[in-house]
Structure 1
Amino acid sequence: MQQPAHSIIAELEDAVRGGSSSKRVDTLRQVTDLFLNEGDRLSDDQVQVFDDVLCLLIARVETRAKAELSKRLAPLDYAPFEVIQHLAQDDEIAVAGDVLTHSSRLGTETLIQIASTKGQEHLLAISGRADLPAAVTDVIVDRGEGRVIRKLANNAGAHFSEEGYSAIIARATNDDELIEILGLRVDLPAKFLRDLLRRAKEAVRARLLAIAPPSIREEIRKVLDAIAGEAPAPRRSYGVAEQLVKLMKGLNELDDAAVYNFAEAGKFDEVTVSLAVLNDMPLDLMGRLMEGPRNDLILIPCRSAKLNWPTVESILRNRPNEYPIDEPTLEVAQRDFRKLSMETAQRTVRFWQLHNRIEK
């Protein structure tokens, strides 16, 4: 075994020193073939020789050759350690992807570092790993966009911390597909299932009941029955806030700037009353809207009240409830707000005024 290895190393030195690109790629394939044929019988020192050789070569070959190497080494439990680390850190997902998804040679700290610094394609690849520790999923939940979060939630081998579950369920507020995926996880704790189903539309709840396996279906049914039996919350009293806002309205001081200042100061009783007064809506209705999970519905009275986006953004960012908004969702909200016409918003508000209810 030693002689072939030394022969390959000598050829490598020639390839690196003066060989063409195709020569370097051929040498890389020869080294890889040799390792694949003999790797499971090599000593640690011999594997280290291959590791050194491959690391030298991948620094001097094109993306396509590195991607081929990644695909061939990713499934191997005995793959050379350092070359796997180099491939996983590559900015090109064609190179890093297979290793990030399949290689058992990547430790938790390396995965955390890559998940914290690389882009969405790298996060997507990591999200498909067969066994994913909670320390890694915490980072992905924090940084991942919609498709990444859905893939992660759909991975039965992904483990979540309490904070991770709480955050991913908050991400599901305006994502029916994500609610369905999470609702079908057998490891979702009961308290998080209850929170998830509270956020779900009736149509999503019905679909979950229809597609869930019997063991999960029974648990979903129990939680939905418990939610249905909960006593309605007592009507909020807005007291001084209501008096202040109505006084400002009478003095023609209730405008976009006033609502912005309330939101920035965290005075959300005043924000709620302001939106109710500006839209001539029942205060309890506006209160339910502001305290609920639907960020998209809050855009409607804001547009109808002729608020500007910075004020709406401050309301969405700062409202003190259990439904925090992340940057990707905020970007979607901004696009939706710009598309929402004044006429449509005011027509919707009139519908709410007539029926005194919010469509779920």
Structure 2
Amino acid sequence: MAVAPSIPGLEDIARHGDPKRRNDAARKIAGLFLAGAGRFRPRHVDLFDGILTGLVPHTEAAARAELAERLSALGNAPPMLVDLLVRDDEISIAGPLLRRSPVVTEPTLIEIARMRGQSHLLALSERPALSFGVTDVIVRRGDREVVRRVAGNAGARFSPSGYSSLIRRACDDGVLTLAVGQREDLSAPQLKELLAGSADIVRRRLFEVARPDRKAAIGETMAEISGAPKPAAIRRDFAPAQRAILAMHQAGTLNEAALLDFARLHQYEHSVAALSALSGVQIVTIDRVMMRDRADSVLILGRASGLKWATVRALMMLRLGPGRAVSATDIEEARLNFERLAASTAQRVVNFWQTRQSA
């Protein structure tokens, strides 16, 4: 497969042609490559690479930007050409490749992060996946907008020093605190350090916007930081309820409907014992979850146990006690959070609770 003969005098055009002839030649050959990229073998790609690398630098910026945009989605884009375009000073040319091209190598990304300006760093921060090596440079050199963007990128990974830098910069940036605080890979000590350096209003906002499975950890960390005294634990005797639940289990009458009845009747000990038997979660863990200030833990426990929303709602009312109510808005928000919560995620949180309780 030879493309050079399709354009007479190609070598002369590349060396001595005027801009218009070079533009025309580059456009035609790039069109040939883009039209057949899906079926080309490496040797064909190399042939196009050599030809286009000689032509494209002499074309107009608009033509290079259009080509970069189309090449950015290809896994077999000509590597030398991509390396040439991704280093361009014009962000309209380099940007598409920085954001998503799988052909750009890790050393090239790090070099560009070290050498280029904020517009290039911003494009870099939007890549679907970023390694520690790249994010370390971005966090060190990026301005506020860049750092916020990379912190909100779920595909970015941060080294311990990178996280330390993010947390330091978040001390005076509430938006960055919200982005960092919602990351799944943020450890408990890092979350505590982040919240300790944040204003109380930012902490509350983070709790409001966090996913249900993160709210429990954020709430506990907030309480630990505030140093607020915990209410005295209510001593409960679960033994009679356990005996009653065991009898129901042996009789085959223990099910979610029975749990729902206990919760609606505000029979706390029977509800906890029944939920323990149905879910396999220890009574001490369920009791501790039910007594927390926030209802999100009940949503997590209900989803992990495979309960229906009606039962979870009754358990939310149970923890408040008779005569107390929740606004319709809060109930609807809780229902939506419950529906969004994945069972696998909820189960991981419950497993964590049980492990910590055992420890």
Length-normalised TM-score, structure 1? 0.61
Q: Is the 8 A contact 1:96 1:122 kept in 2?
A: yes
Counterparts of 1:1-360 in structure 2, within 5 Å, are 2-3=1-2, 5-8=3-6, 10-229=8-227
Q: Distance in 2 between matches of 1:216 and 1:146?
A: 25
Q: Distance in 2 between matches of 1:84 and 1:194?
A: 43
Q: Which amino acid aligns with 2:22?
A: R
Q: Is the 8 A contact 1:9 1:53 kept in 2?
A: no
Is there any run of 5+ residues in structure 1 with no aligned partner, and where?
232-360
Q: Is the 8 A contact 1:25 1:61 kept in 2?
A: yes
Q: Is the 8 A contact 2:86 2:93 kept in 1?
A: yes
Quote the residue 1:247 is aligned against. none
Quote the residue 1:269 is aligned against. none
Q: Is the 8 A contact 1:51 1:82 kept in 2?
A: yes
Once the two structures are TM-superposed, the CA of residue 33 in structure 1 deviates from its matched residue by 1.3
Is there any run of 5+ residues in structure 2 with no aligned partner, and where?
230-359
Q: Is the 8 A contact 2:72 2:96 kept in 1?
A: yes
Q: Is the 8 A contact 1:172 1:179 kept in 2?
A: yes
Once the two structures are TM-superposed, the CA of residue 133 in structure 1 deviates from its matched residue by 0.4
Q: Distance in 2 between matches of 1:12 and 1:144?
A: 43
Once the two structures are TM-superposed, the CA of residue 22 in structure 1 deviates from its matched residue by 2.5
Secondary structure of 2:38 counterpart: helix
Once the two structures are TM-superposed, the CA of residue 219 in structure 1 deviates from its matched residue by 1.2
Distance 1:154 1:20, change over 3 A: same
Q: Which amino acid aligns with 2:225?
A: I
Q: Which amino acid aligns with 1:97?
A: G
Secondary structure of 1:91 counterpart: coil
Matched pairs, number: 229
Once the two structures are TM-superposed, the CA of residue 117 in structure 1 deviates from its matched residue by 0.7
Q: Distance in 1 between matches of 2:161 and 2:8?
A: 53
- % same residue: 41
Once the two structures are TM-superposed, the CA of residue 95 in structure 1 deviates from its matched residue by 1.0
Quote the residue 1:244 is aligned against. none
- RMSD value over aligned CA atoms? 1.6
Deviations 1:146-203 (A, max 9, x none): 0000010010000000110001111111111101111111111111111110111111
Q: Which amino acid aligns with 1:155?
A: N
Q: Distance in 2 between matches of 1:147 and 1:8?
A: 47
Once the two structures are TM-superposed, the CA of residue 217 in structure 1 deviates from its matched residue by 1.1
Length-normalised TM-score, structure 2? 0.61
Once the two structures are TM-superposed, the CA of residue 25 in structure 1 deviates from its matched residue by 1.6
Q: Distance in 2 between matches of 1:113 and 1:195?
A: 31
